[in-house]
Chain A
Amino acid sequence: MSGPERFKPTGTIALLVVYMIILLALWANVFFTLISRGVTL
């Protein structure tokens, strides 16, 4: 692992994908709470 070309941070990318999914799910949860209250109607 002497250079970035040899080290592929596959675990990091997998973790970030999981993180983005959680982020989107939680953000969407709040968004739908907003919609359900009719705030933007």
Chain B
Amino acid sequence: MTGEGFAHERKLAAWNIGIAIVALIIGSWFGPLQLFEHAGLDLYKYLAPGIASYYQGLTLHAVLNALIWTTFFIVGFTTLAVTYTLKRPLRYPWVNTLALILMVVGLLLAAVPLLLNMATVLYTFYPPMKADPLFYIGLTLVVVGSWVAGYGFYFTLHAWRKENPGVRTPFLAFATILNMVMWQIATLGVAAEILGLLLPWSFGLLKGVDTELARTLFWWTGHPLVYFWLLPAYASWYGMLPKQAGGKLFSDTLARLAFWLFLLFSLPVGLHHQYVDPGVPPGWKYLHAVLTLTVALPSLMTAFTVVASLEMGARARGGKGLFGWILKLPWKDPSYAAQNLAMILFAFGGIGGITNASYNVNLVIHNTIWVPGHLHLTVASGVTLTFIGILWWLLPHLTGKKLFSPKLALAQAWTWFFGMILMSNSLHLLGLHFGVPRRTALGAAPYNMPEWRPFQIEAAIGGAILFVSLILFIIVVVGTVFASKPVEKPVEMPVAEALEDPQLTPAWLDRWRPWLAFVAILMIIAYGPLLYQLISAGQFVSPGFKVW
């Protein structure tokens, strides 16, 4: 027996999430290896010739964990969230089936050059590093597949709105579909980069590439990509976690407003990754700095609304005092604990994010190992640990089997938490105080300084704890799917009620056109003149290099 839902949609979600889990497991093995290498323990030599270098491992780690795990999980999760909360099946199930096929074909095509060391270009694939054409084609198909999945959700929402005139879209459907819309606008940049520059260049049709233009198009996508990962986590924090904590969503209105603001302000922000790029005039960088810092507004609204919702649940469970209520949260529930721990780490990632976004302060940490320290608090903790927490109810929901050892699942969450604290703390300090470069096999670097060693050992210990956490994750997932007993009653998706009737939420927070018009205007202002300038002054001369 399994949870309520529609058979085809559940199957699609299960395929997406299953592929995501495999990607996370394979990709995560390379994370600790990097930290061990920095601390002087080079295990890559034992992986040769399968894995040719530190950099091939780094590319696999980032592509599998940051792109594949997240994209497949999000499409699967959105499929369930949309159909479950709209209480209707997909309007055109074949569209979403086609999406899955495109994404899988893309993944397989990209995997070939990745595994053959023909696409060791890291996940940002900056030219002039050049990959095999199959890598670009594969990534394009994964992105196009996710677009097609989005179309499937839009058709479904459109059909639901016709069937339910005047009714507010259920929050989880609204939030996850908004994320797909944001993703489609965000990926226009990387689509233009790959189709207009990198793919013809890799086929030899273009003799050279303009690296500055390529980077600018990449970061059109690159930073909103973070929000594509984050918004489903936020959807769970707003729309599911309060239910798991025994509370209600504190404000449906605030929640929807925050998501609209994320749509507006998470997109025109890419240039804060290019503060030191000489080809981008400072005025444009300053504009993007201001817009990036504006994202703090919906972020703080999220912090307030989510924590207030949890506080309401904790006080309903008998919590007292200014901070004492925190102890009454359901910390023994692995699904809840993983997501709350993810929030705590993410809060510190947000502080680092403000630093990164600050135009001048960014100079201290730009291109240092601080940046992966930050990314692992946001994506590898805030997002991934939340998704893992979701899995602890989702796997029983999909398989109809009990979670295999909730205690091990709880241990998995805590080991991930402490492992990430050690790792990220040391990476931040190495970047801040010593300017240690990121994306570098530091163990082999002649400039590796003795003063760095204590921090590198701290990071390696963090990596070892994370490795244990990964093993626990595998045990719980495999145990649940293959060795667990059936649940006595179906495990339902935890959908939090709002404190006030969502029908009282203003109608303008459930209309798409005005917000999409604002987005278009903002993107034209933030990128239009700059891209015109970069394209008209483009120097398509750089040859490609294979450096590793």
Contact = CB atoms under 8 A, between A and B. Distances in A.
A24 to B, nearest CB: 9
A34 B364 contact: yes
A1 B347 contact: no
Contact of B351 (A3, A16, A22, A40): A22
A31 B251 CA distance: 36
Contacts of B321: 11
A27 B361 contact: yes
Contacts of B303: 16, 19
Given A10-B322, A23-B351, A27-B354, A40 B360 contact: yes
Interface residues of A, number: 24
Interface stretch (B136-144, B172-180, B304-312, B520-528): B304-312
A31 to B, nearest CB: 5
Contact of A9 (B250, B350, B363, B500): B250
Nearest to B316: A1
Interface string B234-262: 00000000000000001100000000000
Interface string A1-34: 1011001011111111001001100110011011
A34 B354 CA distance: 15
A5 to B, nearest CB: 10
A28 to B, nearest CB: 10
B438 interface: no
A11 B363 contact: no
From A30, A31, A33, A40, residue with most partner B Cβ within 10 Å: A30
A3 B500 contact: yes
A33 B432 contact: yes
A7 B311 CA distance: 10
Interface string B330-367: 00000000000000000100111011001011011100
A4 B499 contact: yes
17 contacts: A1-B312, A3-B500, A4-B250, A4-B251, A4-B499, A7-B499, A9-B311, A10-B322, A11-B325, A12-B308, A15-B323, A19-B303, A30-B355, A30-B364, A31-B358, A31-B361, A39-B364
Interface of B: 250-251, 300, 303-304, 307-308, 311-312, 315-316, 321-323, 325-326, 347, 350-352, 354-355, 358, 360-361, 363-365, 432-433, 499-500
Interface of A: 1, 3-4, 7, 9-16, 19, 22-23, 26-27, 30-31, 33-34, 37, 39-40
Chain A to chain B: the 8 pairs with minimum beta-carbon distance, closest first: A9-B308, A12-B307, A12-B308, A23-B351, A34-B364, A11-B311, A30-B355, A14-B322
